[in-house]
């Protein structure tokens, strides 16, 4: 028999009050857990989505010269560097330690060809990888698959008068246009896009590529690590992270987090208020009982400890149930909120955090009621004596 026995017996034998107290905190904890775990699951999904919206690592041949092109404006005739990457070296990208984080490797070869009197840029690509990295590409018609097929950029098609199904001669070699790329607003609009091997042959660049775009599907590994790993695997390439993509992704995640933290704080405050009001009512209801304790020789500190022990026990219970309820709600909501195949993230940190949060909030909200109880005048409290 000690203070803990009294506290636990009170909770055990007054189940309706216990249920009310637990419910107040449980709803708060469950809401916070739901928000945080939803955010986490949606964030993971969003990361995947964002990755498929563009490559975030660029591999170009090493060059000693500075670029003479910016924003689509190139100083003609001064770009003399003609070094290329060897296609067979690209296999080495797949051997880096973080290779499971690589979503797509999209090699390209670039060069100019003559169509009639006009000079047009041809880009040879691996169609599967390229369309994966360029999620925003929409083709009227179909993608090129065979060696003598191509997809024309919107401006190039307009300039050359190409339509789906028409045939065009590139440096005298006939190609069939299988589709037209809808306007993208980028340099892609000016291109004729053929398969990698066809373009290499056409441009006499067999076995070489001009640049490689890599989409890395990495949620929490730093992109700079992957850059270093690819650089080590490809000494002849200059590997750089496209910071813009990285930054945009981080910004989107930050907004997710800021929103859910904001809501969590408000919900927790409401939970704390419920605990405070219930505890205060409970203390007032137990005036006589507290008078008995005081008359029997309990110190003020004993009364405070007793009330806080009850608060901690209630909070622990509410924390455990709230965590489970929150995960349950997340599981129910997730299929409606996320596309694709998001999965529930069971995080020990979230479990521990929600317990700690419940206990902190429950105890803090019960502190004044406990103090109030300890200040009760035992005579007032007993009335009868």
Partner 1 sequence: MAFIDIKKLRKAYKGAGGHQVDALRGLDLEVDEGTFLGVMGQSGSGKSTLLSLLGGLCHPTAGTVLVDGIDLYALDSERLADFRREYLGFVFQSFNLVPYLTALENVMLPLAVQSMPSTDKRQQAMKVLDRVGLSDRGGHLPNQLSGGEQERVAIARALVNQPPLLLADEPTGSLDTATSAEIMALLRELNEDGQTIVMVTHNVENQAYFDRILVLRDGQSASTDINAVPLVTNFA
Residue ranges that bind partner 1, judged by CB under 8 A = 1-3, 5-6, 9-10, 12-14, 288-289, 292-302, 377-379, 382, 384-385
Closest CB to partner 1 among 17 and 40?
Answer: 17
The vertex-355 CA angle with 285 and 278, nearest 5°, equals 15
Closest CB to partner 1 among 198 and 304?
Answer: 304
CB of 21 to partner 1, least distance (A): 15
Q: Rounded to 5, what percent of the chain is helix, strand, coil? A: 55, 20, 25
Helices 3-13, 300-337: axis angle to 10 degrees equals 50
CB of 292 to partner 1, least distance (A): 5
CB of 24 to partner 1, least distance (A): 21
In angstroms, the first-to-last Cα distance of the chain is 26
CB of 294 to partner 1, least distance (A): 7
Closest CB to partner 1 among 338 and 382?
Answer: 382
Closest CB to partner 1 among 80 and 296?
Answer: 296
CB of 281 to partner 1, least distance (A): 17
CB of 300 to partner 1, least distance (A): 6
CB of 385 to partner 1, least distance (A): 5
Extended beta strands in the chain, E state? 57-61, 69-70, 73-74, 85-86, 102-115, 118-125, 139-141, 149-152, 167-170, 173-181, 191-195, 208-209, 211-216, 237-241
The vertex-261 CA angle with 258 and 265, nearest 5°, equals 140
Closest CA to 57 of 89, 102, 124, 88: 102
Q: Which two tokens stand for residue 141?
A: 């018609």
Closest CA to 229 of 75, 356, 360, 98: 98
Distance CA 236, CA 2 (A): 75
Evaluate whether 153 touches 190 at the Cβ level (below 8 Å).
Answer: yes
CB of 291 to partner 1, least distance (A): 8
Evaluate whether 123 touches 153 at the Cβ level (below 8 Å).
Answer: no
* DSSP three-state, residue 151: strand
Evaluate whether 83 touches 230 at the Cβ level (below 8 Å).
Answer: no
């Amino acid at each position: 028999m000690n203070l803990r026995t009294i506290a636990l017996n009170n909770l055990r034998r007054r189940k309706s009050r216990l249920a009310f107290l637990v419910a107040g905190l449980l709803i708060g904890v469950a809401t916070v857990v739901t928000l945080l775990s939803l955010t986490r699951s949606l964030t993971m999904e969003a990361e995947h989505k964002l990755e498929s919206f563009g490559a975030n690592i660029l591999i170009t041949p090493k060059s000693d010269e500075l670029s003479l092109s910016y924003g689509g404006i190139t100083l003609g005739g001064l770009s003399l560097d003609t070094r290329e990457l060897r296609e067979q070296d690209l296999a080495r990208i797949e051997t880096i330690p973080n290779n499971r984080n690589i979503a797509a490797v999209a090699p390209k070869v670039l060069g100019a060809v003559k169509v009639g009197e006009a000079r047009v840029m041809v880009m040879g690509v691996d169609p599967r990888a390229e369309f994966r990295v360029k999620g925003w590409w929409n083709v009227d018609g179909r993608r090129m698959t065979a060696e003598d097929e191509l997809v024309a950029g919107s401006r190039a098609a307009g300039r050359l008068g190409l339509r789906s199904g028409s045939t065009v001669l590139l440096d005298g070699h006939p190609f069939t246009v299988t589709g037209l790329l809808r306007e993208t607003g980028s340099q892609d609009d000016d291109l004729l896009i053929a398969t990698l091997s066809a373009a290499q042959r056409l441009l006499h660049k067999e076995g070489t590529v001009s640049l490689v775009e890599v989409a890395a599907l990495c949620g929490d590994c730093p992109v700079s690590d992957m850059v270093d790993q690819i650089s080590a695997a490809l000494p002849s390439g200059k590997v750089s992270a496209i910071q813009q993509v990285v930054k945009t992704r981080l910004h989107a995640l930050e907004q997710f987090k800021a929103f859910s933290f904001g809501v969590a704080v408000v919900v927790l405050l409401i939970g704390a208020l419920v605990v405070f009001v219930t505890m205060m009512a409970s203390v007032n209801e137990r005036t006589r009982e507290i008078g008995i304790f005081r008359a029997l020789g309990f110190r003020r500190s004993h009364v405070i400890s007793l009330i806080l022990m009850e608060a901690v026990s209630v909070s622990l219970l509410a924390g455990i149930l709230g965590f489970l309820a929150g995960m349950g709600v997340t599981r129910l909501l997730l299929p409606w909120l996320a596309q694709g195949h998001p999965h529930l993230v069971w995080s020990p940190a979230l479990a521990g955090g929600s317990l700690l949060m419940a206990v902190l909030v429950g105890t803090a909200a019960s502190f004044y009621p406990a103090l109030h109880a300890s200040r009760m005048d035992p005579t007032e409290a007993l009335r009868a004596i």
